[in-house]
Amino acid sequence: MTSPIVRFAPSPTGKLHVGNVRTALINWLFAKGQGGKFILRVDDTDTERSTKAYEDQIKADLTWLGLEWDDTFNQSGKFAQYDAAADKLREMGLLYAAYETADELDRKRKIALSRGRPPVYDRSALNLSDEEKAKLEAEGRKPHWRFKLSGNRVEWKDLVRGPQSIDTSSVSDPVLIREDGSYLYTLPSVVDDIDAGITHVVRGEDHVTNSGAQIEIFRALGGTAPEMAHTPLLVDAEGGAFSKRLGSLDMGTLNGRGILPMAILSLLAKLGTSDNIEVRETLDALAADFDFSKIGRAPAKFDERDLLALNATLVHAMSFDAVKDQLAAISPEAANEAFWMAVRENCQTVQDAKPFADIAYGRIESLIDDEDAAFIAEAKMLLPAGEVTGESWGDWTSALKEKTGRKGRGLFMPLRKALTGQEHGPDMGTILPLIGREAIERRLSRA
Ligand code: GLU
């Protein structure tokens, strides 16, 4: 097989969320695993809704993820080519002017449905004479332009869904150009796919019906349709449709929460496949695992808890060098190797080190209730001698339990409140050596 050439084609009308990133990733893994090319196509034909700011953000996010592209272009720079393709289709009698308003089309759909017929456009525009068209235009109506489907079955072997067959007689002739002259995505996409020599169109299954029409347009314009792969869509953890919540999981938000690119990429690459969900350290490793045949037909459930678990695995293995700058941003004292080695097992994100740093190095207002004062005084006396280590907490609380008869919450909570100033917080065994003897003794003494 020749090396694949694929494209990821976002519209710059919003930020990249986990759903778009999954499509980009699957394209990237498939192409790169075989020495192919990954092209970033910016679908900005909708000049009203597209912005340069979103385009720049999309590029920054893909770069952050490591999904580098071999080439990129904007559809807004290619209108002359789309116009030429539209002219060619007109000459072939495959692109025809229609004048119905949205209301008229709606009425036709309702009538068809009430007669038990599928709500497919009836092609009445094809019967308009030149005089009738001229009259409509004189009334101020502008045409929109529809592609004339063959009415035959279009078949392809989808790399994810298997054999597909779309009966184009049961689909309305798609509008390719709106009455204001703007292009819908259907035609420009085909023109660009031919132009860029795209070998595989890989996208979400919401595009399956489009593929029927687009394959006919490929053929009409003299190209062969690329191979197609339509992946099931992402759903939320409860199995509900792609929700606002998932849509709001854009890369900036995830980065801000300390989620690492390889956690996102590992989850999105494995979700809905026959592989186990586990972390991989590089995109190349994910590419080596990739195969379309592993992608199942069921919707892929995206659960943020899986994302955090994968992130935690990566964070637990992160070296001090890799996190030094982030720790320094938390506090100067936190940027030390012993601190990181002690706390990293307790962190799902590097930011999770902050409460540890606050308690170890921050100014703490000890909380000692009157009824615990004697107990805390006892605790101060029983603090094991010598260096405070990972074992000290266990030794200390065992000795205190023996001496005072306290156990459970009554034993641990007064110590936590005195040493951290809070009722909740990080594991005391981990934090104790970081606080250090001097501060421990100070916090146990009532001011
Ligand atoms: N801009 C289109 C979308 O985001 C591209 C679809 C395609 O990959 O063909 O839905």
Tell me, yes or no, whether 346 and 432 share the same domain: no
Angle, CA 192 vertex, CA 231 and CA 154 arms, to 5°: 55
Tell me, yes or no, whether 42 and 172 share the same domain: no
Using CA of residue 387, residue 392, residue 397, residue 398, what is the dihedral sign?
negative
* Within-domain flag for 238: no
* Within-domain flag for 158: yes
Tell me, yes or no, whether 312 and 327 share the same domain: no
- Select from 141, 158, 177 the last residue of a domain: 177
* Within-domain flag for 194: yes
Residue 9 Cα to ligand 1 midpoint, Å, equals 5
Q: Give me the residue label for tokens 């075989």.
A: 34
Tell me, yes or no, whether 92 and 158 share the same domain: yes
Q: What is the pLDDT of residues 352-374, one digit of tens each?
A: 999 999 999 998 999 999 999 99
Using CA of residue 43, residue 48, residue 49, residue 51, what is the dihedral sign?
positive
Residue 412 has pLDDT above 80, yes or no: yes
Q: Is the CB of 230 under 6 A from ligand 1?
A: no
Q: Which of 7, 46, 185, 211 to mutate to test the pocket of ligand 1 (most atoms within 8 A of CB)?
A: 185
Tell me, yes or no, whether 385 and 428 share the same domain: yes
Nearest CA to ligand 1 atom 4: 10
Q: What is the pLDDT of residues 267-322, one digit of tens each?
A: 999 999 999 999 999 999 999 999 999 999 998 999 999 999 999 999 999 999 99
Tell me, yes or no, whether 192 and 326 share the same domain: no
Return d(Cα 300, Cα 80) in angstroms, integer: 39
pTM score of the predicted model: 0.89
Residue 62 Cα to ligand 1 midpoint, Å, equals 16
Q: Which domain holds residue 44?
A: 5-72+186-233
Tell me, yes or no, whether 166 and 193 share the same domain: no
- Select from 304, 335, 361 the last residue of a domain: 361
Tell me, yes or no, whether 198 and 167 share the same domain: no
Tell me, yes or no, whether 272 and 296 share the same domain: yes
Tell me, yes or no, whether 291 and 169 share the same domain: no
Q: What is the pLDDT of residues 218-227, one digit of tens each?
A: 999 988 899 9
- Confidence class for position 1, pLDDT limits 50, 70, 90: low
Q: Is the CB of 7 under 6 A from ligand 1?
A: no
Give me the mean pLDDT over the 233-249 stretch.
Answer: 83
- Give the pair of three-digit tokens for residue 37: 């090319």
The confidence score (pLDDT) of residue 246 equals: 81
- Confidence class for position 200, pLDDT limits 50, 70, 90: very high
Q: What is the pLDDT of residues 38-71, one digit of tens each?
A: 999 999 999 899 999 999 999 999 999 999 999 9
Q: What is the pLDDT of residues 242-275, one digit of tens each?
A: 777 888 889 999 999 999 999 999 999 999 999 9
Q: Where are the alpha helices (DSSP H) in 75-122?
A: 79-91, 102-114
Residue (of 208, 108, 110) closest to 165 by Cα position: 208
Q: 149-173: b or e for each residue (b if 16 or more CB lie within 10 Å)?
A: beeeebebebbbbeebebebeebbb
The confidence score (pLDDT) of residue 447 equals: 41
* CATH code of the domain in which 127 resides: 3.90.800.10
Number of domains in the chain: 5
Give me the mean pLDDT over the 149-170 stretch.
Answer: 96
- Select from 177, 204, 225 the last residue of a domain: 177
* Within-domain flag for 338: yes
Strands 175-177 and 144-147: antiparallel
Return d(Cα 295, Cα 291) in angstroms, integer: 8
Per-chain mean pLDDT for the chain? 95
The confidence score (pLDDT) of residue 269 equals: 98
The confidence score (pLDDT) of residue 414 equals: 97
Tell me, yes or no, whether 86 and 171 share the same domain: yes
Return d(Cα 36, Cα 253) in angstroms, integer: 31
The confidence score (pLDDT) of residue 324 equals: 97
* Within-domain flag for 351: yes
* CATH code of the domain in which 268 resides: 1.10.1160.10
Tell me, yes or no, whether 64 and 212 share the same domain: yes
